[in-house]
Chains A and B, each alone.
Chain A
Amino acid sequence: MFKIIIRRMGFAFLTLIFVSGIVFISVEALPGNVCTAYLQRFAQGPRLEKCIEQQGLDRSSAVRFRDWLAGAVQGDLGVSLKRQKPIRELVGERLRNTVLLAGTSAAVGVPFAIVLGFWAGLRRDKRADLAISGIAMLAMTIPEFVTASLLIFIFAIWLNWLPAVTIVPPSASVLDILPNIILPAIVLSLVMTAHIMRMTRTAVIDILTSDFVEMARLKGVPERRIIWRHVAPSALIPTVNVIALTVAWLLSGVVVIEQVFNYPGMGTLMLQAIYDRDLPLVQAIALIFSFIYVGVNLLADISAALLDPRLRTSRRVY
């Protein structure tokens, strides 16, 4: 058990190095450097020299990569070109806001999805299942910004219940932000619910038709007990993995959704950084997102191992 956790952690660490390598190399592959990309036709004379000095571009790539990673681990993400501020300061409150939004969506979506998945799986091919599965399919295929636009139209413009866009500054208190979270969180949790629910449903159906459930039925175990003791724990295991995958989706979805609602989070900051050609800021945000993703994945791996006795052997090579 302990060995598995160590192995997974090692793997997560390697993934992190790899992902940050991609983030770093993709910018290195540019003709020129971050300063010429940012300054464009003003990239000459003292301005360029000052920028190169500030970003430390006189060091070799390998040294910069090492320093960049080491800095990131210690919370030093470099300096933004456009805003001329440490990226750490720019990110601070926005990271909190994004985590608040994504966390709320997950806290609402995950339990809801599991319940719905069980409900649909236990009533396979009946009317409730078809309705739930149909809606889930729609939620999964329609792009998030379309769903968001439709919900804004219904709830903000037509019914006038909720604000359409966020007008609070990034540093607003949590209580001020909360009303603005409702609509974006609904969109995010809708799509997330659809994915997790589908997986839970499949898992429930798989297990309901498995031999050990058949055996329990033949022994005369009451159906309620079969569902709670036999089906539920086994069906949760694949669900945990999907939850981790969903976080990857959530991190993409959150960028689009923040833009739609003008929400002051990491996504809007990243887009702004791209519009400004502020590559150090783009890199830093991409790195933070990857850190979050790898971290959540590691957590899911470990909880799956804790939930599933079969995974507790160290023989399984990842």
Chain B
Amino acid sequence: MTDAVATDSAPARRRRPRVRINSTLRRVASRPSGAIGLILTIFFVLLALFAPLVAPYDPAAFDPDLVHLPPSAMHLMGTDSLGRDVLSRVAFGGRLALVVTFCAAIIALLWGGTAGIFFGVVGGRIDEFAMRIVDGFLAIPWLLFLLLMASITGGGAWIVIPILGFFYGIAIIRVARAAALQIGARDFVTAAKLRGEPRWSIIRTEVFPNVADIIFVEGAMRWSWMLIAFASLSFLGFGATPPTVDWGLMIANERAFMAVAPWSVLWPCLALSTLIIGINLLADALGKAVGVDRAGDMPA
């Protein structure tokens, strides 16, 4: 995206964004919390990518003779209520959630960011009206909205992508608009306006490069909240559906056997929480690295 901004200028300018991404990453990693977040996130992405290599067994293969086996050398994390290997299921369990929430985060970033910058630059009545609608949407508790949509569409992982993308994009509109509004008041934007540059070109070359950081950090934070949302939906039965292996679903199904086989619940709990904590720490460190203060945020 940053490349698209720079394509029409000299090669010297083209190199700049890449250098900045590098130094941002270095600043993220220099913070202990950022380094932990980065490591955890990369670990789980790799785990999801290479799940077939990590898993010792077929995650769906069940065996009535192996029900509720405690952790052992054969089954490092034990087996669940259908005799399936928990380690294999934990390895595969993050795949769907990561793909769904990542796609939804991209959608939210694209539409929320575009709309936010647009309203921030255009201002006036349109902006005022749009912000009232945004306020209205934000007045709906997130799970209620998702459940309402799930009840109408019947739920399912792929339907959840646009729903999450749409709903979490609304919160991004607000952030992007506030950022664009602030940049729009700066002298270099006024100068561009006075030069008679068209509005679209001002957005593209003056406003966007300056608000991209903020929107991106917001997107990263929303990503971790979307994971919570998707896991909750799966847990309630509206996200991932049974043949799929998913942590939220595993917790929901094995919860009843927690007294006899706690390992089949505790391992997916640990995996899910660590992933969310990892992304959260990463987003937080990203925010601090690019100078966005995120204190007092709500997962809405």
Please tell me if the beta carbons of A142 and B277 are within 8 angstroms of each other in the complex.
yes
Please tell me if the beta carbons of B251 and A286 are within 8 angstroms of each other in the complex.
no
Please tell me if the beta carbons of B144 and A30 are within 8 angstroms of each other in the complex.
no
Please tell me if the beta carbons of A297 and B139 are within 8 angstroms of each other in the complex.
yes
Please tell me if the beta carbons of B296 and A18 are within 8 angstroms of each other in the complex.
no
If A198-B295, A274-B150 are given as contacts, then 5 extra A-B residue pairs at C-beta distance below 8 Å, sorted by A number, are A18-B133, A249-B298, A260-B255, A273-B151, A293-B141
The complex places the Cα of A137 from the Cα of B283 at a distance, in Å, of: 13
| CB of B22, distance to nearest CB on chain A (Å) | 28
In the A-B complex, the 9 residue pairs with the closest CB atoms: A252-B143, A18-B136, A274-B151, A251-B141, A199-B296, A202-B295, A252-B141, A142-B273, A146-B269
B266 within 8 A of A: yes
> Known: A259-B236, A290-B140, A293-B141. Contact between A143 and B272, CB under 8 A?
yes
Please tell me if the beta carbons of A146 and B272 are within 8 angstroms of each other in the complex.
yes
B60 within 8 A of A: no
Residues of A within 8 A of B265 (CB): 149, 153
Residues of A within 8 A of B150 (CB): 274
Please tell me if the beta carbons of A30 and B152 are within 8 angstroms of each other in the complex.
yes
Please tell me if the beta carbons of B300 and A248 are within 8 angstroms of each other in the complex.
yes
Residues of B within 8 A of A275 (CB): 237
Please tell me if the beta carbons of A152 and B151 are within 8 angstroms of each other in the complex.
no
B147 within 8 A of A: yes
Please tell me if the beta carbons of B142 and A252 are within 8 angstroms of each other in the complex.
yes
A185 within 8 A of B: no
Residues of B within 8 A of A202 (CB): 295-296
Residues of A within 8 A of B280 (CB): 137, 141
The main secondary structure of chain A at its interface with chain B is helix
Please tell me if the beta carbons of B231 and A248 are within 8 angstroms of each other in the complex.
no
> Chain B contact residues (Cβ within 8 angstroms of A): what range?
35 or more
What is the 8 Å Cβ interface bit string for chain A, positions 226-248, against chain B (1 contact, 0 not)? 00000000000010001001101
A270 within 8 A of B: yes
B276 within 8 A of A: yes
Contacting residues of chain A (241-270) with chain B, CB-CB under 8 angstroms: 242, 245-246, 248-249, 251-253, 255-256, 259-260, 270
> Which of A142, A157, A286 touches B276 (beta carbons < 8 Å)?
A142
A138 within 8 A of B: yes
> Known: A143-B228, A202-B295, A275-B237. Contact between A290 and B259, CB under 8 A?
no
Q: How many residues of A contact B (CB 8 A)?
A: 55
> Known: A15-B136, A157-B262, A202-B296. Contact between A27 and B152, CB under 8 A?
yes
B290 within 8 A of A: no
Contacting residues of chain A (102-153) with chain B, CB-CB under 8 angstroms: 137-138, 140-146, 149-150, 152-153
B244 within 8 A of A: no
What is the 8 Å Cβ interface bit string for chain B, positions 127-149, against chain A (1 contact, 0 not)? 00000110111011111100111
What is the 8 Å Cβ interface bit string for chain A, positions 22-62, against chain B (1 contact, 0 not)? 11001101100000000000000000000000000000000
| CB of A78, distance to nearest CB on chain B (Å) | 16
> Known: A142-B277, A149-B269. Contact between A277 and B151, CB under 8 A?
yes
The main secondary structure of chain B at its interface with chain A is helix
Please tell me if the beta carbons of B224 and A245 are within 8 angstroms of each other in the complex.
no
| CB of A55, distance to nearest CB on chain B (Å) | 16
> Known: A27-B152, A199-B296, A270-B147. Contact between A146 and B251, CB under 8 A?
yes
Residue of chain B at shortest CB distance from A15:
B139
Residues of A within 8 A of B137 (CB): 22
What is the 8 Å Cβ interface bit string for chain B, positions 265-282, against chain A (1 contact, 0 not)? 110010011001100100
Residues of B within 8 A of A299 (CB): none
Please tell me if the beta carbons of B259 and A26 are within 8 angstroms of each other in the complex.
no
The complex places the Cα of A242 from the Cα of B251 at a distance, in Å, of: 31
The complex places the Cα of A145 from the Cα of B239 at a distance, in Å, of: 15
> Known: A149-B251, A198-B295, A274-B150. Contact between A248 and B135, CB under 8 A?
no
The complex places the Cα of A259 from the Cα of B235 at a distance, in Å, of: 10
What is the 8 Å Cβ interface bit string for chain B, positions 113-132, against chain A (1 contact, 0 not)? 00000000000000000001
B42 within 8 A of A: no
| CB of A267, distance to nearest CB on chain B (Å) | 9
Please tell me if the beta carbons of B139 and A293 are within 8 angstroms of each other in the complex.
yes
B232 within 8 A of A: yes
Please tell me if the beta carbons of A238 and B296 are within 8 angstroms of each other in the complex.
yes
Please tell me if the beta carbons of A245 and B300 are within 8 angstroms of each other in the complex.
yes
Residues of A within 8 A of B149 (CB): 26
| CB of A272, distance to nearest CB on chain B (Å) | 11
Residues of B within 8 A of A297 (CB): 139
Contacting residues of chain B (144-192) with chain A, CB-CB under 8 angstroms: 144, 147-152
A279 within 8 A of B: yes
B258 within 8 A of A: yes
> Known: A141-B273, A142-B277, A274-B150. Contact between A256 and B300, CB under 8 A?
no
Residues of A within 8 A of B142 (CB): 248, 252
B52 within 8 A of A: no
The complex places the Cα of A146 from the Cα of B269 at a distance, in Å, of: 6
B299 within 8 A of A: yes
The complex places the Cα of A146 from the Cα of B255 at a distance, in Å, of: 10
The complex places the Cα of A143 from the Cα of B235 at a distance, in Å, of: 10
| CB of A7, distance to nearest CB on chain B (Å) | 13
> Known: A30-B152, A199-B296. Contact between A145 and B277, CB under 8 A?
no
